[in-house]
């Protein structure tokens, strides 16, 4: 195994080179580790010696170990590297081999190429398809039809009847000269059932229409015709006006309604052949176009499959999506000032959270702690542990500042609420106005008008009387 065999991720059943350090108890790299013993465990199995042994890169304290494809053929591969060097620690490594290397997956460039190709091909296919289906099928016009396309078997029995042929649809111009010969009429095609009652009478046939050439020898014998029948037939056939009184579906009606122009004005065989050739050409073009579309679709499907084959399977995608959804639920909706805004639950910050002497003068910058940093009532008796503020916690000049503040603070700041039997009361008695009134000593507030407190006075005539005390 060469250094080039190292991959971004470990791959299952593929040789893998791992690079790792060996540390001592102090966290320092161990160079020249002796008695190296590398062992591997697959999927929680017992550890066994690796095929290869770890080797050091120079004298760096960093080592490499080449694991074989067999050793990497597991979902979880655990490796430990032991050493007999004193103080050196055993190095553990855990790998979760993937089915494929990330370099085997499709790149964004290749996906973009496939996407562009699909866009082009699908647009081309859409441009050559009808805007909508008609009755679930593609609606096509027939430009030409090959000879012998429409055969007797292609036409259902009874499909062409009187209702199927529009009035005047069959004219002289529609039937080419000699278009209907003996070969076009099947044997027994014209039966008695095909001819309506009274369809052929004397008016139906023109004079001389049926001559010797029209009737085969011995076709009509004496037994076939009554006396004068020939004359009557001729008269009946050719003398009867058409369509006249003939009803729908009768020969007289069909002939009268449809043979309404000279036969020479109907389509010739040449024009029918031209239409037939045109239909053949158009059908061949449609078949060619459909073959091109199918080939393009096959190409697109193959290209898509080539890309999807490189993607993770459905189960892996589901796990990835599940992990991403879980991460999303644990992230804030937005950053605050470029950072995640976090709340601190009540009571979370306890004395156990701080190491001894964690907060010293060097940690807190000057003017950092202001009144605005504390919520009203944030620091109460419960917030400060017993004996938390010791002499060692208070700087020397801090005590002097407190004393100075106490001595220089006007007592008027507390006289509205402070009790008289306190240091405040004693100082008030010393510095505020006081007088004897009816056997009581009245001590006034700093306004020299409102009485703060009274004390009963016991007098002695032998003593020098005190009339009034008042601080100027």
Domain residue limits, the chain: 3-101, 408-469
Q: ∠ at Cα 166 (165, 169), nearest 5°?
A: 90
CA gap 301, 294 in Å, rounded: 10
User: Any alpha helices (H) in 341-392, and if so which ranges?
Assistant: none
pLDDT tens, position by position, 186-242: 777 777 677 777 667 666 666 766 666 766 666 666 566 666 676 777 777 777 777
Dihedral sign for Cα 243, 245, 250, 252, please: negative
Mean pLDDT of all residues in 151-177: 71
Range picked from 188-192, 321-325, 381-385, 463-467 for highest mean pLDDT: 321-325
User: Any alpha helices (H) in 259-395, and if so which ranges?
Assistant: 269-308, 314-329
Which of 25-29, 406-410, 461-465 is predicted with the least confidence, judged by mean pLDDT? 461-465
> What residues contact 169, with CB distance under 8 A and at least 6 apart?
258
pLDDT tens, position by position, 256-275: 777 766 666 667 788 888 98
**What's the pLDDT at 460?**
79
Confidence of residue 346 (pLDDT cuts 50, 70, 90): confident
Longest dimension (CA), the chain: 195
**What's the pLDDT at 257?**
76
**What's the pLDDT at 1?**
53
Dihedral sign for Cα 64, 69, 75, 76, please: negative
Encoded tokens for 123: 């647009």
Residues linked to residue 442 through DSSP beta bridges, in sequence order: 435, 454
Does the structure show a pLDDT above 80 at 299? yes
* Other beta carbons within 10 Å of 101: 13
Confidence of residue 313 (pLDDT cuts 50, 70, 90): low
**What's the pLDDT at 81?**
97
Alpha carbon of 67 to those of 41, 46, 90, 357, 468: distances in Å?
12, 16, 18, 49, 104
Mean pLDDT of all residues in 27-50: 96
Span 3-101: which CATH code? 2.60.40.10
Does the structure show a pLDDT above 80 at 100? no
Range picked from 18-27, 123-132, 154-163 for highest mean pLDDT: 18-27
- What is the overall mean pLDDT for the chain? 80
Of residues 467 and 122, more confidently modeled: 122
CB of 255 within 8 A of CB of 167? no
Encoded tokens for 183: 């070969």
% the chain with pLDDT above 90: 24
Encoded tokens for 90: 């055993």
CA gap 21, 2 in Å, rounded: 19
Asked whether the whole model's pTM tops 0.85, one would answer no
CA gap 364, 298 in Å, rounded: 72
Does the structure show a pLDDT above 70 at 116? yes
Encoded tokens for 99: 């089915």
Does the structure show a pLDDT above 90 at 96? yes
Does the structure show a pLDDT above 60 at 371? yes
Mean pLDDT of all residues in 27-40: 96
């Amino acid at each position: 195994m060469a250094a080039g065999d190292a991959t971004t991720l470990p791959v299952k059943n593929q040789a893998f080179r791992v690079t790792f350090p060996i540390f001592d108890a102090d966290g320092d790299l161990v160079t020249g580790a002796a008695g190296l013993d590398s062992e591997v465990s697959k999927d929680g199995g017992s550890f066994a010696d690796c095929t290869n042994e770890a080797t050091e890169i120079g004298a760096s304290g960093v080592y490499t170990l080449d694991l074989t494809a067999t050793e990497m053929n597991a979902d979880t591969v655990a490796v430990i590297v032991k050493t007999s060097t004193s103080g050196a620690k055993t190095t553990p490594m855990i790998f979760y081999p993937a089915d494929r290397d990330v370099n085997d997956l499709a790149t964004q460039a290749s996906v973009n190429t496939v996407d562009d190709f699909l866009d082009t091909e699908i647009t081309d296919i859409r441009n050559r398809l009808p805007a909508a289906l008609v009755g679930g099928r593609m609606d096509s016009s027939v430009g030409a039809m090959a000879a012998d396309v429409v055969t007797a078997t292609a036409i259902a029995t009874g499909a062409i009847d009187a209702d199927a042929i529009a009035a005047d649809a069959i004219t002289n111009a529609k039937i080419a000269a000699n278009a209907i010969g003996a070969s076009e009429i099947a044997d027994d095609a014209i039966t008695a059932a095909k001819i309506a009652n009274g369809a052929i009478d004397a008016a139906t046939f023109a004079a001389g229409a049926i001559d010797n050439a029209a009737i085969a020898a011995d076709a009509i014998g004496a037994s076939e015709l009554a006396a004068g029948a020939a004359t009557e037939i001729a008269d009946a056939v050719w003398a009867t006006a058409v369509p006249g009184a003939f009803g729908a579906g009768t020969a007289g009606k069909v002939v009268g309604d449809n043979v309404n122009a000279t036969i020479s004005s109907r389509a010739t065989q040449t024009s029918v052949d031209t239409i037939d050739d045109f239909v053949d050409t158009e059908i061949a073009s449609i078949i060619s176009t459909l073959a091109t579309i199918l080939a393009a679709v096959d190409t697109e499907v193959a290209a898509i499959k080539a890309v999807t084959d490189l993607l993770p399977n459905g189960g892996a995608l589901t796990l990835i999506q599940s992990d991403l959804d879980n991460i999303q639920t644990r992230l804030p909706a937005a950053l605050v000032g470029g950072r995640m805004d976090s709340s601190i639950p009540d009571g979370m910050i306890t004395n156990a959270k701080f190491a001894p002497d964690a907060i010293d003068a060097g940690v807190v910058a000057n003017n950092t702690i202001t009144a605005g940093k504390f919520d009203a009532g944030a620091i109460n008796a419960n917030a400060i542990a017993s004996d938390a503020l010791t002499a060692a916690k208070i700087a020397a000049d801090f005590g002097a500042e407190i004393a100075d503040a106490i001595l220089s603070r006007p007592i008027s700041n507390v006289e509205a609420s402070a009790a008289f039997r306190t240091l405040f009361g004693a100082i008030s008695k010393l510095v505020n106005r006081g007088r004897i009134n009816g056997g009581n000593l009245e001590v006034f507030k700093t306004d020299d008008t409102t009485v703060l407190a009274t004390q009963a006075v016991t007098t002695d005539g032998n003593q020098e009387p005190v009339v009034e005390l008042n601080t100027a």
